[in-house]
Amino acid sequence: MNRTRRPLIALLAAALVATACGDDDDATPEADGGGTDGATVTLLTHDSFDVSDEVLDAFTEETGITVELLPSGDAGSMLNQAILTKGSPQGDVLFGVDSTFLSRALDEDLFLAYESPALEGVDESLVLDPEHRVTPIDTGDVCLNYDKAGLADAGLEPPEDLADLADPAYDGTLVVENPATSSPGLAYLLATVAEFGEDGWQDHWRALRANDVEVAAGWEEAYYGSFSGAAGSPGDRPIVVSYASSPPAEVIFAEEPLDEAPTGVVEGSCYRQIEFAGILSGTEEEAAAQQLVDFLLSPTFQEDIPLNMFVYPVTDVDLPAEFVEHGAQPEDPYLLDADVVAANRDAWIEEWTEIVLR
């Protein structure tokens, strides 16, 4: 998923102290086959990938394998590069293809099958490929966020679900991202398809247009430009499409300590994005790549995810206090089948554009 974070957030998150690395209980299972000591594995990522240096150092210390990171633009650009170099990949492992683009990646036969023993600690519902060509690493829920004070000033209660936003009472309150240019914008469109059906979501968006919905090109413009609840934002819209992890971020990066997040999450609106890692076909370091995939599911790496990438780990590790107190983990988020998304994504975006922007 393409989570464009404000530069300040990215810099501060990278500076946060990572959880302790190197307990015996956190040991990375060794992949079958030797000869990996001294190997270098290139991890192809999207630009939002972030990990503490200490974490990768722990992997190298334990295995003798060095990891080189190769950022490759947003998730879509990264996948396009992987397709163009199929069979002669630029890296050995790809991190960051999400459930929205998964079907396309699998259809292109980009990955080698590998079932990590560490998957024993992952909920089976997150394993979307039964052939194990990709491995789930993290989840992020795209949800409606609301400005608590902004809604109160307008005399409004927070919406409980997607349908509430069609109520004329919420006229002029919502800003969304364009699904043609934004990952959270696309996820929100998919949530409306999942809720109202392939023949009903169009009427919902017509109602939102009648309610003066604002459309921004991307998350940055929507959250820090139009949303009234973000620190320092000049916006006047009290509802925005963002993430379940946005309220914890508001607390963590507040200039003054906060006991309560100024924003909330509409849990009945959330669409789940799952990010995967896969070993690229054509790698010359398959055994070392397997060990890296195992490590991405280790407690050392999983505990490092929330405060660096502001998404949730897929294994049962302790979360930062801010995520526990201020974040949201919806029990029943929307998630469309990857094949359905692949078959309809372009047509849905085109139809959305006709309804909302023309």
pLDDT at position 280, please?
Answer: 97
- Mean of pLDDT values over 302-306: 96
pLDDT at position 353, please?
Answer: 98
- Mean of pLDDT values over 187-208: 97
Chain mean pLDDT for the chain:
89
Residues with Cβ within 8 Å of 107's Cβ and at least 6 positions away in sequence, in order, are 342
352: confidence class by pLDDT, cuts 50, 70, 90: very high
Task: For domain 7-139+273-324, give the CATH superfamily.
Answer: Periplasmic binding protein-like II (3.40.190.10)
pLDDT at position 50, please?
Answer: 92
Model confidence, pTM: 0.79
34: confidence class by pLDDT, cuts 50, 70, 90: low
Q: Which region among 64-78, 80-94, 243-257, 262-276 has the lowest average model confidence (pLDDT)?
A: 64-78
pLDDT at position 7, please?
Answer: 37
Query: Where along the chain do the CATH 3.40.190.10 domains lie?
Result: 7-139+273-324, 141-272+329-356
pLDDT at position 44 over 50: yes
Nearest CA among 6, 73, 18 for reference residue 243: 6
pLDDT at position 23 over 70: no
21: confidence class by pLDDT, cuts 50, 70, 90: very low
Is the separation of the CB atoms in 270 and 333 below 8 Å? Answer: yes
pLDDT at position 48, please?
Answer: 83
- Mean of pLDDT values over 99-119: 93
CATH number of 141-272+329-356: 3.40.190.10
Q: Which region among 3-17, 30-44, 209-223 has the lowest average model confidence (pLDDT)?
A: 3-17
Is the separation of the CB atoms in 310 and 138 below 8 Å? Answer: no
Is the separation of the CB atoms in 327 and 244 below 8 Å? Answer: yes
Which residue has 């372009």 as its token pair? 346
Tell me the per-residue pLDDT of 316-343, one tens digit each, with 9 for 90 and over: 999 999 999 999 989 899 999 888 998 9
DSSP label at residue 28: P
Strand pairing report for 111-112 and 263-280: antiparallel
Percent of the chain with pLDDT over 90: 77
